[in-house]
Structure 1
């Protein structure tokens, strides 16, 4: 149910009435009033879970556990746990979200969409909003699952307005009622303001003539007039109380300097001065938003110093009553950066552990840098939120200073909460910046104290370490860390880390060349987690990249571009540059295969920029190597010259230095491959074989199967060009046997037209049924094969004259008109058409034109 109307139309009143009626029917009602700072996924979900937990004790505790970590788990992961709990609730439940227009975060809106879609049938959501929320309203309307009440339904009718005024003690004749309705148009708050105003007007009818016709102008006029009609003492009380988002009797005493704060609030409520109770016991109140905004604006304009002092007093009160978020809000409005920084530092770890780093950083931006640098938690928030912009060295320097401040080197026992949070952030940043060795060291540090800290953070750091080991090609240590992470994961509810664990296992299989095993594991992952996460959830970014890599390597290209573009545009919390770079390289290759050379070049430039920004040179040279391969496959005569110029523009030895300790230096590997391709493009096949032999010595047994296959393919091409046909075919068959076992196809296609021609020659000679079937399937998915078929048909079938005849026929010319245009006799035209039919294997002119169009023979 959606109440959607501008401010002052009585949405909250209608929701209260609706909730009361449902409660009388035995429905469990959960109410959540939203504020300006609730547009933060973690903060919103925690308040929602707290509210639900008051109605159903224990509900949402697993989701709350996932939110309480500095890794910032995607909203969908917490929502799926909450939905799992809701499914077990038997009592009908109504959730009321008031002021839903304040929620704009896309992830949060997606989570609410998911709640509406998957919550049990006994669950109902009622919302009040000033504008249409970005939910799937059209779908809900179409399914009959949405009841909407807008301004037209909520506005008072003339009769209802008359009754309301009578009840308020205001008596007007018909003309005056008609005039007032014309001014307010049934706007509830306008009518209420008018009732307060008219009580003090000796001539109500004459006074009504002073009002304008604009509804908002009328509201502003009435607000000012009603306020100014109050005694000066009452005005001062309202101005003091108006600074607070919510009020209690004791806080009212602090703000007004009185001793009867609770009585004062009750008096204001009785006077109908827009003060609304927030609970049944009437311990907490708040002003209506319109009136509160008016009071704050008036006080700020009249006495800015008092405005700041009152916020300072409110901040102190909320601090002393352990209500940190409200204390921080008022400290920011008090414009006292020292106090704000001290508050943020004091409760910052709690905010981090509640997953509210984004909210913390929004407040931190109000603190000058010279002040923030003195408070460790603010520095930690800076590093996390600016991780993408900071260099790796700068990020580490800031984090290590914090670790030193907090005694990381002196603490031999279990890590404190703040140390563990800092190490978790350091591990994720290391993964983002391609510092895999640091990821492994941090994981081993946690491994040594396993079970002594928060399970969530331990598992998260172990996953980061395992993923780093996979990328380093250290498969056995990676499996050991995954096993430890799986053990600790048993102590956690939920699916986010569980899914990421499985995803790392899939990547490990791929690293070892087991594509079919990886595909099987991924299918199991999809079956286990389908339904838990929205299809566009950030939680699915890394699995989406993994699935795309599997599909690409096995030659399933349909839909790959769309999936990869979405994944690359969406950042997960654990966002390893390695996987994002692999996704960019995969996208560029798919674009090239599908005829988008310019798009592929643009993607490779983006990949180079990403790598250079993070000084991840192995990805930089991968993009350069792919760029050169793209140049070498172009038909231009100067392609070798341009490729060599690009090759010489890179200082390969310098970029290889950071990887000297690795068994397979990724920079030198790309350099070797690129030199081999360039030698072959020049026709220097013997030199290419020499380079191949040197490069092969870098490969390790049991690893690098894909790299070994690529070298064998290039060697087969060199042998074939040098005339060693048997040796070339033997290597090619060996590659096909290995590829067929795992369904690997992309490695052949990446090497271009020369390999396709080798495969076509082998197809005619190969007699093994299984291998021949795989070979045909490989040639069948080869990109651009339709254009190649058309070229073969043109060269071996239709003559130029026949092509001219079929092109004119496609334009609708008759045989006589074709003869006249080409200066041919009618019989000659018919003879050409007869030959065309035979060559295209068709029976008539219509079929010939359609077939020629399919083969692109009609294009100029």
Structure 2
């Protein structure tokens, strides 16, 4: 029998394509990966894995062998690996053992021993490793890596896996991973690729193309090649979807054709959804193995991405989802309504009313849609806006809408969820139901229109006082309005009433809305431990961005008052991005609080500008305006600019109406200015307000008296402040006053206090604060940090990374805080000093 020869073509990297876009950032990542034994390059087809490695092996000075794997290469794998090692030039003649001369275990032991003798490491690229089916190969590679010392550096290129055999090496931090997100093209690379293809688009259309492809290199190249023959390239981009002939052909040949029938069925049925779980797949297909099928599809490198940290839910790449939906309509158009109906039933059974309503309308099941409105309309009022799940289906007939107000209301609620205000109003005109008030009420709350929200909530309570659902929505809105006006006790009662009503009739979204705002109210009132429990309860029962935002804000306030700045900043960042006016304003105010330690003037200026932006374009309630003015004045005073602080407070003085917030801010400015007698008088005369304000006023009075040498006065004021702080463990206000408060507290220990444990706790926290270790940067923060070296603006960085500007700003705040930097250039310098760049 003639032995099959080794093919030299498999031992050479493929030639790079014309118009190659060089990617030095990824080259640096691969070079850095040489510090670990294995680099795993894992992404679906068309993500430029082989192109990248082909270019890198030519550009790097590191000696690298290459094995291009094809189906059926399992029996000859070790022979190809030996040949590739020889081609890397580290061995002379037949210095390496042959796999044909001994059993595999003996061969691997000899090879590992020979590699371990090398003075310089050797690299191997294993391209298309997913074609290897024999699990013994991966186990053998793991054995080599463990026993070859630092001599072997392996790059595994695959579309999925490799799996369990590398788990131990991953746990030992011996694997560098490069995934699809790392391989995605950015704006500059997209422009370079298009230029290499002879194309030049306006930035707007280049960004549009980048968003639609999510930076998928093959998709961008295929779009570019197709665009070259198009008479109107911008129009091509506007109309470009996963249904384009070149994209559809690629998905068919590279993905669908290689799948078994069960896997293909799951993808086609699941494409009616934006997010897939095993249980939902089972409901759509009638199978019982949906979770396993999804995991296998992901492992196979199909265009699925896990949602969140686990692998219980998956989302399709946008172009792939568009392609699958066209295929479903082409292959089985009659199944589409039934799939939507099954999805609606699944969501309804789990109380996910907004998703159930959308799918019910898409399936033209008007009866289900009206039943959902009848049962869940309060939850639906507080849902959305969310992106559409599917191309809108046929609208109900006009006659059906006129005869059935609930159906018109269902369509109106659906359009509100989709963010279509005009469409919402069109359907609302077809129904005279007073539940329309609830829809307008939800709009007013989101827009920060406190006066309108209050009157509409009162109207809804009057008209539907016997309806628990309507009552819960109205009380939720009323409580939010009272939060905005600073009537916190009234807000707490209203929200507590709305919570009880929502729980009585099982309205999950209304319950979460009440809980999340109730958490903020309690945090502001000073009930910190209860606020934390309430916020955690809300987060455990909701995924809506607004409710999560309020809950995270409550946790940020709580940790701020406990003196845990890093945790407060983390929750504050999580609170952003919902689009709710009041929430955004409160976030900006709390962010100003966190900057009053005087460490970063430029960050403070930027935060003030952002806060001003959040307070424009709507009727800001007096309480919010006072809170913002007090926070800005405190910030200015902390930097020694007391003149500006006094001016800001004077501008609000006439309209303050005895505001505790502004009074305490004035006392702080007087203390900073050295006007100590005035500070004592102002602090002592502060109106009764929130616990945190009363505590702050007492501490300011004690500090001013201490500086005047009035020891007894200072001791009495401090003891009262500690009494207020003790039960809820307020520490932040003392810690933020720095050395002056620490000296005063230390002296207070000697004079005697009933709150010895609290004082010791505060002193220890304040003493440890400067030496607190800097938290490590996450991978995403490191990516943003690299962009900060460039001349790109924040908006351009966001476009490069396919994220919002707010997301980039959030990462920048994390970076600045962790590096103790106040501006971009300083962060870059400190990062270089720390060898992060």
Q: TM-score range by the shorter chain?
A: 0.3 to 0.5
Structure number with higher relative contact order (C-alpha < 8 Å, ≥ 6 residues apart): 1
TM-score (norm 2): 0.46
Q: Which is higher, the Rg of structure 1 or of structure 2?
A: 1
TM-score (norm 1): 0.45
